[in-house]
Amino acid sequence: MVTGENGYEEAAAKLPFMTEQVRQEFKPDQVVELSPMVRRITAANPSMMTGPGTNTFIIGNDRLTVIDPGPALVEHTEAIVDYCDGRLEQILLTHTHPDHSPGAALLQQITGASVKASPVQLTRIYDETFTLNQPLEDGDRLDLDEYSIEVVHTPGHVANHLCFLLKGCHWLFAGDMVMDGSTVVIAPPDGHMGEYLNSLHRLVDMPIEAIAPAHGRIMDSPASYLQSLIEHRLRREQKVIDSLVNVGAATIDELLPSVYDDVPVVLHSVAAMSLEAHLIKLADDQRVNRSDDRASWSLKD
């Protein structure tokens, strides 16, 4: 979602989580120092899907790295350029969703910095302006004088999702692997629930001291938080199974009210995508069947 400065106040006023404290903490296009090595600039695109807005992170002091320049908003890009002041070395993308990557083209046009991301192409919702200069693969290391960043391929939210681990302080720039105060949407075909859970399990075992999500606050106690996300998804999976036990063969629309009875109805259209992802995972696990017309699902005998 693209909002921008002109529509920020109207959009923020409609969001229940946008308290005055949150609005001040994530004031659009302001540089916030999170550590001597990390700054955050939040874009003016708040919504139910993006929280207070998309966080752009700037790493380093002399040779800078930008992670997720966000939507193509002129004011946001100008704030990044003004802070970098000729020091920008590279632009890293966690993935190519419209709230994360379109700003890369404008930022590159102004600074000449190279764009680095996964080469995997998405098929459903993606940034059509995306141009890749350097493909990144799992385990790649980006070494600069001041710091080193490890690339971690974390498919699940989408197939081309990457996280970036800042070595030394062990901060994980997690994109949409996690979201402060909510769960991320897993939307097939680019999103895959089984891969998402595998990525969470992998991150649990990594030496991470803090998580910097693309939406919301820095998260401490990362291992326990990531484990809680795994348990949440597995509880939701069990609700899918219980609902199929109760109703037999059913469509996604028929399953939604019982599986997501704790989620406001206004969000059910979004929840339907994650529900499909759960069902596909259960089919991969040989626990459910999909009808020949692909309209309904049922438990295996």
What's the CA gap between 65 and 92, in Å, rounded? 7
Q: What is the mean pLDDT of residues 35-41?
A: 97
| Ramachandran category for residue 242: left, alpha or beta (phi over 0 → left; psi -120 to 50 → alpha) | alpha
Whether the predicted pLDDT of 147 surpasses 70: yes
Examine the domain organization and report whether 238 and 216 are in the same domain: no
Examine the domain organization and report whether 108 and 192 are in the same domain: yes
In a domain, 80, yes or no: yes
Examine the domain organization and report whether 121 and 257 are in the same domain: no
Q: Alpha helices, DSSP H only, in the chain?
A: 5-13, 20-25, 74-84, 103-111, 193-204, 222-247, 252-259, 268-284
Examine the domain organization and report whether 216 and 266 are in the same domain: no
Pairing, β 64-67 against β 55-59:
antiparallel
Examine the domain organization and report whether 242 and 212 are in the same domain: no
Range of the domain at 37: 5-220
Examine the domain organization and report whether 158 and 260 are in the same domain: no
Strand order of the sheet with strand 148-153?
141-143, 148-153, 162-166, 171-175, 210-213
Examine the domain organization and report whether 252 and 279 are in the same domain: yes
Q: What is the CATH number of the domain that holds 78?
A: 3.60.15.10
Examine the domain organization and report whether 91 and 152 are in the same domain: yes
In a domain, 58, yes or no: yes
> For the chain, what is the mean pLDDT?
95
pLDDT at 124: 86
Examine the domain organization and report whether 182 and 211 are in the same domain: yes
Q: How many domains does the chain have?
A: 2
Decide: helix, strand or coil at residue 90.
strand
Tens of pLDDT along 247-300?
999 999 999 999 999 998 988 999 999 999 999 999 999 999 999 999 999 999
Which residue type, as a one-letter code, is found at position 259? V
Tens of pLDDT along 101-115?
999 999 999 999 999
pLDDT at 266: 87
Please indicate, yes or no, whether the overall pTM of this predicted structure exceeds 0.85: yes
Examine the domain organization and report whether 59 and 168 are in the same domain: yes
Q: Mark which of 185, 220, 255 sits at the end of a domain.
A: 220
Q: Mark which of 220, 246, 278 sits at the end of a domain.
A: 220
Q: What percent of the chain has pLDDT over 90?
A: 90
Examine the domain organization and report whether 241 and 178 are in the same domain: no
Exposure b/e, 167-204, CB count within 10 A at least 16 = b: eeeebbbbbbbbbbeeebbbbbebbbbbbbbebbeebb
Q: What is the CATH number of the domain that holds 255?
A: 1.10.10.10
Q: How confident is the model at residue 6 (pLDDT cuts 50, 70, 90)?
A: low
Q: Mark which of 220, 251, 267 sits at the end of a domain.
A: 220
Tens of pLDDT along 186-232?
999 999 999 999 999 999 999 999 999 999 999 998 999 999 999 99
Examine the domain organization and report whether 193 and 262 are in the same domain: no
In a domain, 225, yes or no: no
